[in-house]
Structure 1
Amino acid sequence: MIESHAPAPPGAPPPWVGPPRLPVRPATGRFLVLACVFVCAACGLVYELELVALASYLTGDSVTQASVVLSVMVFAMGIGSLAAKRLRRHAAMAFGALEALLALVGGCSAMALYALFAWTGDWGGLWASGPRWLLVAFSLAIGLLIGAEVPLLMELIQRIRRQDAGGAVADLFAADYVGALVGGLAFPFLLLPLLGQLTGAMLTGAVNAIAGGALVLGLFRRDLTPRARWLLLVANLAVLGVLATATVLVDDFERAAREAVYGEDVRVALQTGVREVALTGGTDGRPLDLYVDGSLRVSGRDEDRYHEALVHPAMDGPHARVLVLGGGDGLAVREVLRHRGVRRVDIVALDPPVVDLARRDPALSRLNGHVYGDARVHVSTQDAFRRLRRPAPVPSYDVVIADLPAPGITASAKLYSEEFYGLVRRVLAPDGRLVVHAGPVSPRPRVFWTVDATLRAAGLRTTPYRVEGRGPGSAAGPGRTAGAARAPHDWGFVLTKKARPPGARP
């Protein structure tokens, strides 16, 4: 008998594809493959968001970090899809091995990034060595592995029941996009609040490994040799063992990393929602430092210099009613209450844990003069932008003090917008004053003058000024990232009043 070597007709299946050898009916097998697509897509998006969130937490620049992670990942996904075309002949084994590797890399990525940052403190410019490059490396590796899933899953679907390419692609991407939606919603609303960044990433890796391993070893086990089945089983068990061990040790790891970042005298460290608050010092003559999400909010070395410069120029004039935006630590309010004639101080602070510490921690409450025990002080823990936009009438204030995170931090950008200053202008009394912390001047003069220009565009007359710290390495107020080699040596402020209409009397 002579074997024919004539080319296969167009649309015919590849020569290595034999009849399906499944332990279940084709319809059930197809459902299981699409369910695995759903789970893997959810895990893949969690990995992406985890990298963005951790990098933003460490640097404070979420736009840059999201751009780097997502652009590198999308590029890598395309390369991974092309590379996986060569693996279609062994689609089941390749997919199982790929998911085990993806679970290990994605599950451990957050811990590896945080460890390098904590023990090197090297997260400088965009392309600095250390964690920045590791972020790109993890984004590239995870993107390659996620991209390689698509052609392999397509091959597995077609192995079960061949159909036109358009229908198979539609089914695959429907499951993929719905899974991405679930992963994207689970990350901020479930994983972060309940488990935290590190444990959440490792749990995601475990789910990824179980889903991929179960699909291949359960549904496509007859496509594997006995040796291949054992190798894949051992690989998945090893990955799950690594992730389980890391999860057990995560508390000790976080404690050691926190000490490496903040110093050895961490007194208070708590996680509320997605925020981490840490207090160091404040006892035995050591200066108190307050960190929120890795950013130094208060330094006992010269916080008085910062808060005096922020508050006292604005209090020169009527000051019966004062609104403090931010400043949950109570230190700006301490300076406000030193002025006679203050009848009411309203604080709008976004961080309930900071306010709670300012009330209860002996060192911090002593530093702020126990202002939360003063009957004139009223606090509201909500977003300042939302508070000022509410339709209910807002009382007018003689003084508004914006003691907010530095404008270079993307999450606070809306609080330095023309619209926000317009809202503040509405609540200012006719002779009221607004003072804005506009970040350090020396390293970022363009940011400082942009804040000044935005205030003028909102119809306010501006008086910019600058105050130096007491010495090298000192800092107070928002804007210093934990682990930075040197802190800002100055702070910039802009004092404003309402601009009078043309022809009005001074």
Structure 2
Amino acid sequence: MDELKVRQSHFIYWASGIVSICGIIFEVLFGALGSYILGDGVKQYTLTISLFLTGMGIGASLSEKVTKHLVLSFIYIEFLVALIGGFSSFLMFAITAFASNGTDAFFLYGVTLLVGALTGVELPILIRKANEIGVTLQKSTARVLFSDYAGGLIGGLLFVFLLRPQMGIVKSAFFVGLINASVALVVLFLFRREIKHVSIHAFIGIGISILLILGIFFGQAMALTFEQKLYKDPIIYMEESQYQKIVLTKNDDDVRLYLDGGLQLSSIDEHRYHEVLVHPAMSYTSEARKVLVLGGGDGMAVREILKYPSATDITLVDLDPAVVELANTNAHLLELNQRALMDEKVTIFHQDAFEFLERSEEWYDVIIIDLPDPNNESLNKLYTKEFYSLVRNHLQPGGAAMIQATSPVFAREVYWTISHTVASTGMHTENIHLDIPSFGNWGFVMASRDSIDVDSLDITRKTDYLKTDVLSSLTKFGKDEDSQLDGDHTEWGVNTLVDPILIQLYEKSWEYY
């Protein structure tokens, strides 16, 4: 085998690993894109991975028809992957902003299947080309497959720990597409002697590369203008952390925080939410000293807790350090939370709430649970009997917990299932809801080892909404939002790790909102 063929065969193995890295990155990128824009992360990742693998199977089958011009076929497959994959995120945001409802899902699933099919064609072509060069079939197949599988692992790690947090979804797609185009150009150069009209193919590849480079530098800004249309107010801050997309918007005095597209708070009325979240539980417990906040990385709940001088040991557990960092550095959030998270009484852990309670040996007078709604598997576990049993086991006798539990109006079955799940641990519960203009009617579940008498609670701290004689009225529910459906006694299910009934209930309840 001459020196050129040795270089060619070596690069084929490198190429198989590189394109595999690109393929797995596109696969998980499509899942992340679907999770952010379409919601329900588990559903979107399941669909995109299934479609991508199905596409690979289709592509592998179609590769049998590629019998001539193997190298040139591979080059143009890479050009197509570079173009389609590279512009996928950018176009997804544009379609979401301007097209009719449902078009974005159709586009995403179509692109996933197409890129998967193109990826499936690559590997058989590379194996056949390696064999054609002179490497034995058994040896070439094993090496190419090794490069492919090892590349898959590297691609997954790169996306999770480097590309998504550092570049974001839009830039990452352009960057990975550029790698595909670069591989194609290198292959074109190495095999130039057996390809006609090399300059024309090179011109096409360079043109695609220039488009992708422009996308890296300018695509994010253009996508931001598309994404702006997804939000009511102008975006003033955007970040993709390791865990989620964080967006701040502002219109006059109304500052809003969104996580993965879901509204977390509005400065106009967040006091209503956080006062009801905190003060009933703090008022229930005489001289609460140790307080645990699960979630609440924006600092608003801690702000309310600090109104109680007895609360000298406050622990906040929030998974995403980027949210806490924003709460401690952004002028708008600092004005709202009154620099609460910087108080010396506050200790912050960046950890999963379930794992924190499993490992902790501490007992708390008050536990405030301010977690996102249970719209996927990872969040669902924080609404299970197992999780609330952990909450009970860390709650002092005479202490109280308050749990945000979504809307009894928009998600009636979800709210009462959460309430029933809390009660299934043996704790006493009280149901509370109120109107929050930016959210609508929102519900909470108060829980304690002891019975709860809301009428005995006295709100003594300075508040902007909640007062003692209002609190009891918040426990009254209308016919279309109470625990009985159509006037009949309803047996609500219990959400568990083994039987996560809440996810489907949540998806069904919010379908039209």
**TM-score relative to the length of structure 1:** 0.81
Overall identity of the aligned pairs, in %: 33
Q: How does 1:398-477 map to 2 (within 5 A)?
A: 398-470=365-437, 474-475=438-439
The answer to whether structure 1 residue 151 and structure 2 residue 124 are counterparts is yes
Instruction: Give the aligned length.
Output: 449
Hey, what's the Cα distance between the residues in 2 that align with 1:158 and 1:270?
A: 47
2:302 touches 2:341 (CA, 8 Å); kept in 1?
no
The 1:387/1:289 distance shift into structure 2, 3 A limit, reads same
Equivalent residue, structure 1, for 2:336: 367
Shift of 1:112: 1.2
The 1:363/1:206 distance shift into structure 2, 3 A limit, reads closer
The answer to whether structure 1 residue 208 and structure 2 residue 175 are counterparts is no
The answer to whether structure 1 residue 186 and structure 2 residue 166 are counterparts is no
Gaps of 5+ in 1: 1-21, 123-127, 476-488, 501-506
3-state SS in 1 of match to 2:200: helix
Equivalent residue, structure 2, for 1:259: 228
Shift of 1:65: 0.5
Hey, what's the Cα distance between the residues in 1 that align with 2:335 and 2:6?
A: 69
2:90 touches 2:223 (CA, 8 Å); kept in 1?
no
Shift of 1:387: 2.6
2:97 touches 2:230 (CA, 8 Å); kept in 1?
yes
Q: How does 1:61-140 map to 2 (within 5 A)?
A: 61-119=40-98, 129-140=102-113
The 1:162/1:353 distance shift into structure 2, 3 A limit, reads closer
Hey, what's the Cα distance between the residues in 1 that align with 2:153 and 2:161?
A: 12
The answer to whether structure 1 residue 245 and structure 2 residue 214 are counterparts is yes
The answer to whether structure 1 residue 163 and structure 2 residue 136 are counterparts is yes
Gaps of 5+ in 2: 452-513
3-state SS in 2 of match to 1:493: strand
Shift of 1:200: 1.7
Equivalent residue, structure 1, for 2:285: 317
The 1:95/1:429 distance shift into structure 2, 3 A limit, reads same
Shift of 1:51: 0.8
1:61 touches 1:408 (CA, 8 Å); kept in 2?
yes
Hey, what's the Cα distance between the residues in 1 that align with 2:246 and 2:8?
A: 48
Which residue type is aligned with residue 154 of structure 1?
Answer: I
Equivalent residue, structure 2, for 1:16: none
Matching residue within 259, 274, 281 for 1:307: 274
Which residue type is aligned with residue 192 of structure 1?
Answer: R
Equivalent residue, structure 2, for 1:498: 449
Equivalent residue, structure 2, for 1:222: 193
Equivalent residue, structure 2, for 1:329: 298
Shift of 1:338: 3.9
Shift of 1:101: 0.7
Equivalent residue, structure 2, for 1:10: none
2:164 touches 2:240 (CA, 8 Å); kept in 1?
no
Q: Which structure's CA Rg is the greater one?
A: 1
3-state SS in 1 of match to 2:230: helix
Equivalent residue, structure 1, for 2:454: none
The 1:343/1:51 distance shift into structure 2, 3 A limit, reads same
1:88 touches 1:155 (CA, 8 Å); kept in 2?
no
The 1:200/1:274 distance shift into structure 2, 3 A limit, reads farther
3-state SS in 2 of match to 1:288: strand
Equivalent residue, structure 2, for 1:480: none
Which residue type is aligned with residue 400 of structure 1?
Answer: I
Which residue type is aligned with residue 231 of structure 1?
Answer: I
Which residue type is aligned with residue 297 of structure 2?
Answer: G
3-state SS in 2 of match to 1:261: coil
The answer to whether structure 1 residue 233 and structure 2 residue 202 are counterparts is yes
Task: Give per-residue Cα distances to partners, 1:45-68, cap 9 Å, x unaligned.
Answer: 111111111221224411111111
Hey, what's the Cα distance between the residues in 1 that align with 2:417 and 2:79?
A: 49
1:103 touches 1:209 (CA, 8 Å); kept in 2?
yes
Equivalent residue, structure 2, for 1:177: 149
Shift of 1:89: 1.9
Task: Give per-residue Cα distances to partners, 1:160-183, cap 9 Å, x unaligned.
Answer: 12634x554333221210111111
3-state SS in 2 of match to 1:51: helix
3-state SS in 2 of match to 1:89: coil
Equivalent residue, structure 1, for 2:488: none
Task: Give per-residue Cα distances to partners, 1:178-220, cap 9 Å, x unaligned.
Answer: 11111111111121233222222211111111112312x2333
Equivalent residue, structure 1, for 2:322: 353
Shift of 1:91: 1.4
Task: Give per-residue Cα distances to partners, 1:124-146, cap 9 Å, x unaligned.
Answer: xxxx5221111111111101101
3-state SS in 1 of match to 2:248: strand
Shift of 1:275: 4.2
3-state SS in 1 of match to 2:322: helix
Hey, what's the Cα distance between the residues in 2 that align with 1:181 and 1:379?
A: 33
The 1:234/1:362 distance shift into structure 2, 3 A limit, reads closer
Which residue type is aligned with residue 109 of structure 2?
Answer: V
The answer to whether structure 1 residue 49 and structure 2 residue 28 are counterparts is yes
Hey, what's the Cα distance between the residues in 2 that align with 1:450 and 1:409?
A: 16
Task: Give per-residue Cα distances to partners, 1:80-122, cap 9 Å, x unaligned.
Answer: 22222112222121111111111111111111112222445x6
Task: Give per-residue Cα distances to partners, 1:221-263, cap 9 Å, x unaligned.
Answer: 33322x3x23321221121011011112134224423433335
